[in-house]
Amino acid sequence: MQPSFSRVSQALSRRSFLKTSSLLAGGPMLAGLLGEAAEAGKPLIAYVGTYTSPLQNVKSTQVDLPPGNGRGIHLFEVNRTTGVLTPCGVQEIGSSPSCLIANAAGTRLYSANETDKMGEANPGTVSSFSIDRSNGQLKLLNTVSSGGAGPTHVSLHPSGRFLFVANYFGGSVAVLSILPDGSLGEASDIKKDEGTIGPRKATNAPPGSFAFSGHDQVHAHMVQPDPSGRFVLHVDLGLDKIFVWKFDDQKGVLTPNDPPSVLLPAGDGPRHFAFHPNGHWFYSLQEEGSTLVLFDYDAENGRLTSRQTLSSLPPGFAGSNFCSEIMVSGDGKFVYAGNRLHDSIGIFSVGDKGELTFVAEEWTHGDYPRSFNIEPAEKFLYCCNQRGDNIACFRIDKKTGGLAFTGHYTPVGNPSIITFLDLAKGR
């Protein structure tokens, strides 16, 4: 006997009611799961800063003159499995955005613009961009003075309220306030480097080296706060010094620490540095000396004590080389150092006390590796081959620290830096 239509309707109605009630009861959890699924589907974006125009009015001793083949900030979607970069936009900017950093929330991007002329008529600038969280696209918020010529590096205070800028040609560092909407305010402090310029010949240069880049005047090359934000460190390549500053995060003012600086070997030229994840080991890379120096870092007092020096190059190398970038792996087990002219990335293991041991080298598969970076999942390392107009992708062996070229090249005119934003997360 078939059930009557009314009984079927009643049964369906009861089932529908129970199903609907169940869904409503679990609404917050279901919404959360759906939200997480939607977030997980969002892309990993790579932002590549480039040189967009030839540097002019630069003394002949400056060896690093890019021809300016880039168009500004190039955007790519990163394939999380293969590492392949697929173009997804360009933020046209003609002032050579050579250094980029995103805020922790992944809502703002800042660029140091190495403008193409020095002097008061053409000061360096820094730009702020808002990030569309749905696709990573950029919108210019504002551009302000960097407080000096040729800004080459930017970093953020842990509070997110200040941006630090190193002006290479201006030989100065500046503190810029970040306004509530993410745009940049005026400089709250500017410090000009002073001291005795180091010699043309690096103390620790490889045999037969003619490497000479920045010992003609003061050259602030990098500035970054320590993990606590209580101290700010910056290097001057021409002075062979690492400066340490106390930072007032209310006024945005730098004051000299005690002692105010540490001296590297004459002529070696500190360029970039990196903290170990434990916050107690500090690695400095020297551009002309082609060395790595391990310092113990006293986080309580902001003091550096050198403990080890070794070459960034493989044993037996002779000739000229300019170091570029340095990075510590997220697990703290390896340090990577870039070598220009030798066109390699040196791979070093980190010992129990922070000491480095040379493990291997990897050819960058391009010309003049200005910088490199590791994407958030730490599966791939991307190297910006500045004069080769490409980015090469390497798969990382997490056990050995080794790098294996994936065969993937990405054409980009004069890439200077690559940074990542995972839209499924934050920065």
* For residues 31-48, average pLDDT: 67
Dihedral pair phi/psi, residue 15, rounded to 5°: -60, -45
Partner residues linked to 21 by β-bridges: none
The mean pLDDT of the chain is 89
Share of the chain above pLDDT 70, in %: 85
160-192 confidence digits (pLDDT tens): 999 999 999 999 999 999 999 999 999 999 999
Per-residue confidence (pLDDT) for residue 122, from 0 to 100: 56
pLDDT score, position 24: 44
Q: Is the pTM of this model over 0.75?
A: yes
Least confidently predicted of 6-15, 126-135, 246-255, 294-303: 6-15
pLDDT attached to residue 58: 43
- Within 10 A of 177 (CB to CB), how many other CB atoms are there? 17
Q: pLDDT tens-digit profile of 267-291?
A: 999 999 999 999 999 999 999 999 9
Residue 116, token pair as written in the block:
């193409």
H helices, E strands: number in the chain = 2, 28
Let me know if 327 is exposed, middle or buried by CB neighbors in 10 A (0-12, 13-18, 19+): buried
How far is Cα 83 from Cα 298, in angstroms, rounded to an integer? 38
For residues 48-76, average pLDDT: 72
Map tokens 């900017």 to a residue.
93
Question: Which pLDDT does position 53 carry in this prediction?
Answer: 75
Q: Characterize 232-250 residue by residue with b for buried, 16 or more Cβ atoms within 10 angstroms of its Cβ, and e for exposed.
A: bbbbbbbbbbbbbbebeee
Rounded to an integer, what distance in angstroms lies between the CA atom of residue 64 and that of residue 213?
8
> Is the distance from CB of 332 to CB of 350 less than 8 angstroms?
yes
Task: Note the pLDDT tens digit of each residue in 227-244.
Answer: 999 999 999 999 999 999
Q: Are 132 and 88 in contact (CB under 8 A)?
A: no
Confidence grade of residue 64 (pLDDT, cut at 50, 70, 90): low
Q: For 349-371, b where at least 16 C-beta lie within 10 A, e where not — what string?
A: ebeeebebebeebbebbbebbbb
